Amino acid sequence: MKINTKKIINIITILVVLITFIGIYPNYTKASFDIDKAELYLKGEIENQFSYQGVPVFVEYTVYNKDGREYPAYCLNRNLPGITSEREYTVQVTKELENVAVWRAIMNGYPYQSVSQLKCETAAEAYAATKMAVYDALYTYDWDDFEKITDSGERIIQAAKKISEKARSSKQVQQTFRVDIKTISDDWEVDINNPNYVSKTYALQTTNVCQKYKIEVSGEDAKDVLILDDSGQKRDSFIKIENFKIAIPISKLDKDGSFKIKMTADLESYPILYGESPSEEWQDYALTGKSIIYIPTSKTEKFYKNDTKIKIVKKDAQTGETKQGAKFNVLNEKKEVVYANVTTDETGTAILENIIPGRYYIEEVQAPEDYTEYDGLIEIEVGLNETYTVNVENQKEEEKDVPPEKGEKEITVTGKTLPRTGY
C-alpha cells in the first residue's frame, strides 16, 4: 500500500457567520462548506479480494487531508479515470453533494458508520464496501454478479449489500441544523434550591448531534439574573442532555421586565461535498468530512412584578369596626423580626408588598388606645403572588370600678397630770 506524503494544499476554512436580524438570532442553517478545495491522493489499494462478473476488482482508496485528519473521497463516474498513484489532482468545492441516493449510500457507509459497525476488519474494507454501494446508487448492481476471492472480499461484499439496502430504504435527507430553547416550566416558581429567587427551567431542543451548548443573558433587566444548573450551581456551559435554569432575585421583582436568553450550540456536522475535477476527462468526487458548527438561537423571556403581599387588618371584636394605630412586628420562619412597628392606617389596614414567599409570624406589639393586645404569634404561609390577609380582632379594655370615697377620722389623746413630790 502506497502512502503519499506529498504536502497537502492549505485548506481554507470558511467561518460560519452568525447573522443577527433586529436582535433575533437565526436558529437553523444548512450544513456549511468547510473547504473550498481539496487535494486528493491515494492512501492504498484493494485488489484481488472479490470479482465482478468474473473479473477481479481493483479499488483505489482515495482520501484528502484536513487539519491533519484524512477523510475518504468517493469517485462518481466509473467510466472516467480518477486518482491513482501516478495521477493526483485537486478538486474544487463549490456545493454540497446533490444526488440524494449517493448521499444516503455514503451516510450509511464509511466513515459515518464505523469499521466494526459495517462488520469489516479494516478501514480499507469499509471504504471498498462504501464505494460499491455508491456505484450501486448510480448504476444499480446485481449483487449476484459479485463473488468473493478471499475472506476479506466476502466481508466487503456483505458490507456493501448492507449499506445499499439501508440507503435504498432510507428517508434521510441532507443535514439541516436547528436548535431551539425549550421551556420546561411555564411559570416562574420559587426556586427549590434558593427560596429568595424565582426560576424557570429550560432545555436544548435539537435532533442534531450536540457536543455542548452555552447560555448568555442580556438586556437592561438581566443585571441580577443567574444561570444555574439543576442543582442550583452557577454555570453557563452544558451538554445536550442537561437542563439549565434562569433565576431572578425576588427582591428585584419590583416591576415588570424582560431579558434575552441566547443559546449557542456546538453541533457536529457531517458534510458530504461535491469536488469538481480540473478536467472533464477525470472523475469528480464526493468528499466526506466532519466539523463543528456553532448555531445560535435566542428567546425573549418576560417576568412580572412580585405581587406577594401581607395585609393586616385591625378590628373591634364586637362591632367589626376597623382601628387605626395598631402596631405589629413581622417575623420570618426563624422568628427574627424582618418588619418592625408596621402600623395600621385610618382604614385599619397595614400592607407589606413585594414579600418573599414563605412562612411568617405576626406579633402585635401595641394595640389601639383602650384595646387589649393580641397575645401570641400568628403563623402564616404566604405563596408567590398571593395576598395573605390577617384579621386581628381585639376586645376593648374593661372599665375599672371607681372605689368609694374614704372618710377621715381624727382623735386627740391628752395624757393625765401627775402629782408633784419632793417638797
Tell me, what CATH number does 386's domain have? 2.60.40.10
Whether the bond into 111 is cis, omega within 30 of 0: yes
Least Cα distance to 83 among 55, 61, 66 occurs for: 61
My answer on whether 249 and 278 are in the same domain is no
Alpha-carbon gap, residue 345 to 213, rounded angstroms: 54
Least Cα distance to 101 among 53, 149, 136, 65 occurs for: 136
My answer on whether 134 and 210 are in the same domain is no
Asked if the model's pLDDT at residue 412 lies above 50, the reply is no
Asked if the model's pLDDT at residue 177 lies above 70, the reply is yes
DSSP element (H, E) containing 169? helix 151-169
Reported in sequence order, the residue ranges of 144-249 that DSSP labels E, i.e. its strands, are 146-148, 176-178, 180-183, 189-190, 197-205, 210-218, 226-228, 237-238, 244-249
3-state secondary structure 295-338: EEEEEEEEECCCCCEEEEEEEECCCCCECCCCEEEEECCCCCEE
My answer on whether 116 and 200 are in the same domain is no
pLDDT value of residue 230: 93
DSSP element (H, E) containing 52? strand 41-52
Least Cα distance to 309 among 240, 256, 253, 267 occurs for: 253
Instruction: State mean pLDDT over 223-250.
Output: 95
My answer on whether 184 and 282 are in the same domain is no
Asked if the model's pLDDT at residue 2 lies above 60, the reply is no
My answer on whether 202 and 279 are in the same domain is no
My answer on whether 284 and 137 are in the same domain is yes
My answer on whether 240 and 279 are in the same domain is no
Asked if the model's pLDDT at residue 1 lies above 80, the reply is no
My answer on whether 151 and 184 are in the same domain is no
My answer on whether 241 and 349 are in the same domain is no
DSSP element (H, E) containing 3? none
pLDDT range class, residue 408, cuts 50, 70, 90: low
**pLDDT, tens digit, 9 for 90 and up, residues 283-313:** 999 999 988 888 999 999 999 999 999 999 9
The grid coordinates of residue 112 equal 459515518
Give the CA count within 13 Å in the CB-facing half-sphere of 242.
Answer: 21
The grid coordinates of residue 103 equal 448521499
**pLDDT, tens digit, 9 for 90 and up, residues 375-393:** 899 999 999 999 999 999 9
**pLDDT, tens digit, 9 for 90 and up, residues 322-347:** 999 999 999 999 999 999 999 999 99
Instruction: State mean pLDDT over 147-166.
Output: 97
Residue 264, domain member (yes or no): yes
My answer on whether 100 and 215 are in the same domain is no
% of the chain at pLDDT higher than 90: 74
CA end-to-end distance (rounded Å), the chain:
169
My answer on whether 264 and 329 are in the same domain is no
Mean pLDDT of the chain: 87
Asked if the model's pLDDT at residue 168 lies above 60, the reply is yes
* Domain limit, last residue, from 288, 320, 350: 288
Residue 227, domain member (yes or no): yes
If you ran DSSP here, which 8-state letter would residue 234 be given? B
My answer on whether 143 and 277 are in the same domain is yes
The answer to whether the CB of 313 falls within 8 A of the CB of 389 is yes
Alpha-carbon gap, residue 305 to 321, rounded angstroms: 32
Residue 91, domain member (yes or no): yes
Q: What phi, psi does 104 have (nearest 5°)? A: -65, -35
The answer to whether the CB of 258 falls within 8 A of the CB of 301 is yes
Instruction: List the domain range (segments joined by +) for residue 238.
Output: 177-268+297-303
The grid coordinates of residue 60 equal 483505489
The secondary structure of the chain in percent helix, strand, coil, rounded to multiples of 5, reads: 15, 40, 45
pLDDT value of residue 327: 96
pLDDT value of residue 276: 97
Alpha-carbon gap, residue 32 to 18, rounded angstroms: 12
Residue 236, domain member (yes or no): yes
pLDDT range class, residue 211, cuts 50, 70, 90: confident
Beginning with the edge strand found earlier in the chain, give each strand of the sheet holding 285-287 in spatial order: 37-39, 90-96, 273-276, 285-287, 69-75, 55-66, 41-52, 146-148
Task: Please name the amino acid found at residue 30.
Answer: K
pLDDT value of residue 10: 32
Residue 244, domain member (yes or no): yes
The grid coordinates of residue 361 equal 409570624
Instruction: State mean pLDDT over 7-26.
Output: 32
pLDDT value of residue 268: 85
**Overall domain count for the chain:** 3
**pLDDT, tens digit, 9 for 90 and up, residues 79-120:** 999 999 999 999 999 899 999 999 999 999 999 999 999 999
The answer to whether the CB of 261 falls within 8 A of the CB of 25 is no
Residue 14, domain member (yes or no): no
Instruction: State mean pLDDT over 208-220.
Output: 93
Residue 15, domain member (yes or no): no
Instruction: State mean pLDDT over 36-41.
Output: 95
Residue 2, domain member (yes or no): no
CA 255 to centroid of chain Cα atoms: 26
